[in-house]
Structure 1
Amino acid sequence: MRMIVRRRPLFSVLGLGLAAAFLALLAYGLVLQSPNTTLDDAVQRGERPAAPGSSLDLPRLEGPGTRSLEDYRGKVVVLNFWASWCAPCEVEAPALQRIHEQLVATGRGTVLAPSFQDAITDSERFVQRLGLSFPIVRDVDTKLAAQFGTRNLPETFVIDPQGRVVAISRGQTDDRFLRDAVRRAGGGT
């Protein structure tokens, strides 16, 4: 009795493997693109997702102690990730200072600005040179930035008094964006 062995051609085995890999990548991509996967998508749909990392304590740039988003519950927070080496961060700083002054004057909120991969002395010089008076914290190991999906600077998130994200600017922001976003968050202006 003679046994017949059929061998599959190498190309069909490779083809099946490539097809399986393609389908796996396609499924992974669809999961990443699903409607509830990112903060940006939720805000774009008009939802107000909870701000991530609200209990994460970050060391203050100047002086002892820490700050967290939770410390500002009940207030509008303009959360701005920045660094002294970021040219657009310097350009937008005066607009952030103006909105901070308006929020403080009305008692409705603040700007909270975590520095991103920046040397302490460079951050201090940046703040002093631009005359910034809003709270600055150091995002050690970029833990808070990672929770917001921040990879490029500057990035700004406007958070309402209930701790929900109302607006996002991934890139340099300006007075118009800040006024509109703060108004939608319940901070007036």
Structure 2
Amino acid sequence: MNRVIQTLLRLAVVAACLACLPAIAAKPNDAEAIPHLDSRGKEGFREFLAAGKHRAFVIAPGGAWAWKGAEPTTDSAVEGAIQECQQGTEQPCVPYAVDDKVVFDARRWATLWGPYLSRAEAARAHIGKERGDRFFDLAIRSPSGKSMKVSDLRGKVTVLHFWGTWCPPCRREMPELQKLHQELGASSGVQLVLLQMREDFATARQWAQQQHLTLPLHDSGVKEMGTESLTLANGKTIPDRRMAVAFPTTYVLDSYGIVVFSHVGPIEGWSQYLPFLRDVAAKSGK
């Protein structure tokens, strides 16, 4: 089943079940209550509130959003908003508010990275970086210097984070990642793997030490400043732009190494992703 058909089926299910969605206790005009929404999205929500009926505001994990107003029916408003939202994300877009009512299903929200692939489905997955792909098997080194590869990380959920000390947004995001690392703990079934890009490992480690960070820095294998290629486990090289067109870039891999979430740019409020990480840790690889 291709992704276009999957999206159309999702639209049909959302439209059919809209009346069954449980509302949360948030006030209809409270933009601060909307998860993963940045300042631009909050402004969009205020515009939505001022629009004519029928209207719908939809969101997706990672911060994608869209709204439609002055539509003939609530169903057409929801469907139109979802279609627009899906153009900017691989994550499923779901209704947050319809007309003057918050219909957000908070219980379902943290499950939206699923459904997760079975072992057989994961074995057949295309190699790449898109949602549903098996991520590239990069040759890397552990924080202790041991040679390893990305496929060695299977069995746990992996937050694969590409960054560099030369990247201001990367540096600003580090305290958030440090907080996430502490909140996860050692027994969470989730591992952070930070890989420096376009600089050597010693430079990245020295900067982290100066900032008193205790994050699990892994070595991407880059030896010289400005190097724009990475090495795969089979010895071949691959341009780093295959991983990221901008930095930082993050991928979440399930227990089989399948991409379930990706994000370009820094993430505000990494703690909001804890329920998602716990869901994939509990349900993937079964």
TM-score, length-scaled by structure 1: 0.64
Call closer, same or farther: CA 1:187–1:89 in 2, change over 3 Å.
farther
Q: Aligned to 1:81, which of 144, 159, 162?
A: 162
Q: Are 1:92 and 1:173, in contact at CA under 8 Å, matched by a contact in 2?
A: yes
3-state SS of 2:256 partner: coil
CA distance in 2, matches of 1:42, 1:91: 24
Q: Aligned to 2:133, which of 20, 40, 50?
A: 50
Q: Does 1:171 find its partner at 2:265?
A: yes
What is the CA-CA distance between 1:186 and the residue it aligns to? 2.4
Q: Aligned to 1:106, which of 187, 196, 211?
A: 187
Q: Aligned to 2:255, which of 128, 149, 161?
A: 161
Deviations 1:35-77 (A, max 9, x none): 6xxxx98843567513321x321134x5432232212111111
Q: Are 2:135 and 2:253, in contact at CA under 8 Å, matched by a contact in 1?
A: no
Call closer, same or farther: CA 1:157–1:139 in 2, change over 3 Å.
farther
Deviations 1:74-120 (A, max 9, x none): 11111110001111111111222222233343241211011110133
What is the CA-CA distance between 1:184 and the residue it aligns to? 4.0
Moved more, 153-162 or 95-104: 95-104
CA distance in 2, matches of 1:145, 1:51: 17
3-state SS of 2:132 partner: coil
Higher RCO structure (Cα 8 Å, ≥6 apart): 1
CA distance in 1, matches of 2:240, 2:279: 23
Call closer, same or farther: CA 1:91–1:181 in 2, change over 3 Å.
farther
Moved more, 119-128 or 109-118: 119-128
CA distance in 2, matches of 1:136, 1:124: 9
How many percent of aligned residue pairs carry the same amino acid? 23
Compare the two structures and name the one with the higher helix fraction.
1
Alignment length (residue pairs):
149
Please identify runs of 4+ aligned residues in structure 1 that moved more than 4 A: 45-48
Q: Are 2:164 and 2:198, in contact at CA under 8 Å, matched by a contact in 1?
A: yes
Q: Does 1:182 find its partner at 2:277?
A: yes
What is the CA-CA distance between 1:133 and the residue it aligns to? 2.9
Partner of 2:215: 133
TM-score, length-scaled by structure 2: 0.45
Q: Are 1:67 and 1:137, in contact at CA under 8 Å, matched by a contact in 2?
A: no
Call closer, same or farther: CA 1:181–1:169 in 2, change over 3 Å.
farther
3-state SS of 2:219 partner: strand
Q: Are 1:160 and 1:166, in contact at CA under 8 Å, matched by a contact in 2?
A: yes
CA distance in 1, matches of 2:162, 2:210: 18
Call closer, same or farther: CA 1:79–1:177 in 2, change over 3 Å.
farther
The runs of 5 or more residues in structure 1 that have no matched partner are 1-33
Q: Are 2:157 and 2:281, in contact at CA under 8 Å, matched by a contact in 1?
A: yes
| Aligned partner letter, 2:254 | D
Considering only aligned residues, what root-mean-square deviation do their CA atoms show, in Å? 3.1
1:24-43 → structure 2 map (5 Å cutoff) = 43=90
Call closer, same or farther: CA 1:144–1:109 in 2, change over 3 Å.
farther
